[in-house]
């Protein structure tokens, strides 16, 4: 095996091996916090809900945040450690552990606490737009209707269900999402703001 092949083998270690290396010195709580951000992004980007993110799905999301096609290509290759042309939930989790800059990247990571208060009004406006019957809570059907009316590639029912769960406080299935639950996820997660928000009013998506 030549040097180039050896380098490629090193770059394409299975995610499990990379994760084991990345976890050194990290507490379980820290790891779970990183996973929560990664899983949120995965749930938002996986539009067909098949638990695989394609390059097209990632591009559909990041182009809204004005990423260039070249940067999306490079980012996809960075995350796709086994080079099979698709991203799994574990690969994205591992990338967030190995590359801290992803955790605050536009359209991917979290918004800093200092900036969150600036988007509370936007969160409430978006909540009101989704709350069709104006009863102060959001149902899964209202979220489906909202996504159906958005421009761009559609979301499958499975994908909307994943996003619905992500919006709840404890990540479990509720019949309704409260305004405070919605606001918490909306102002924290950049990807959620981009997927749900009134994007014309979104600074630093």
Q: Examine the domain organization and report whether 53 and 140 are in the same domain.
A: no
Same domain, 32 and 69: yes
Evaluate whether 114 touches 174 at the Cβ level (below 8 Å): no
Written as tens digits, the pLDDT of the chain (205 aa) is 343 333 333 344 445 555 555 555 778 889 999 999 999 999 999 999 999 999 999 999 999 899 999 999 999 999 999 999 999 999 999 999 999 999 999 999 998 888 888 889 999 999 999 999 999 999 999 999 999 988 777 899 999 999 999 898 655 556 799 999 999 999 999 999 999 975 544 445 4
For the entire predicted model, the pTM comes to 0.81
Q: Would you say residue 205 lies in a domain?
A: no
Looking at the structure, do residues 98 and 16 belong to the same domain, yes or no?
yes
Rounded CA gap, 181 and 102, in Å? Answer: 24
Which candidate, 68, 86, 66, places its Cα nearest to that of 76?
86
Residues 14 and 85 placed together within one structural domain of the fold? yes
- Tell me whether residue 181 is in a domain: yes
- Indicate whether 121 and 187 sit together in one domain: yes
The whole-angstrom separation of Cα 59 and Cα 115 is 26
Number of domains the chain contains: 2
Q: 127 φ, ψ to 5°?
A: -60, -45
What does the alpha-carbon distance between residue 64 and residue 111 come to, in Å, rounded to a whole number? 17
Burial class (CB in 10 A: 0-12, 13-18, 19+), 117: exposed
What range does the domain containing 66 cover?
3-104
* Domain C-terminal end among 104, 133, 153: 104
Looking at the structure, tell me whether residues 147 and 92 fall in a common domain.
no
């Amino acid at each position: 095996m030549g040097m180039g092949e050896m380098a490629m083998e090193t770059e394409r270690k299975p995610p499990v091996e990379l994760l084991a290396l990345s976890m050194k010195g990290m507490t379980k709580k820290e790891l779970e916090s990183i996973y929560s951000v990664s899983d949120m992004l995965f749930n938002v980007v996986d539009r067909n809900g098949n638990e695989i993110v394609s390059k097209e799905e990632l591009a559909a999301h990041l182009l809204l945040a004005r990423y260039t096609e070249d940067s999306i290509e490079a980012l996809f290759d960075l995350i796709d450690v086994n080079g099979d042309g698709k991203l799994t939930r574990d690969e994205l989790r591992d990338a967030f552990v190995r590359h801290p800059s992803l955790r605050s990247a536009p359209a991917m990571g979290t918004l800093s606490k200092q900036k969150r208060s600036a988007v509370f009004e936007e969160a409430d406006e978006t909540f009101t737009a989704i709350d069709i019957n104006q009863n102060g809570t959001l149902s899964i059907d209202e979220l489906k209707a909202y996504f159906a009316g958005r421009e761009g590639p559609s979301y499958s029912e499975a994908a909307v269900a994943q996003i619905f769960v992500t919006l709840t406080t404890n990540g479990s299935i509720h019949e309704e999402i409260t305004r405070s639950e919605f606001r918490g996820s909306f102002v924290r997660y950049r990807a959620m703001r981009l997927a749900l928000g009134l994007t014309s009013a979104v600074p630093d998506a």
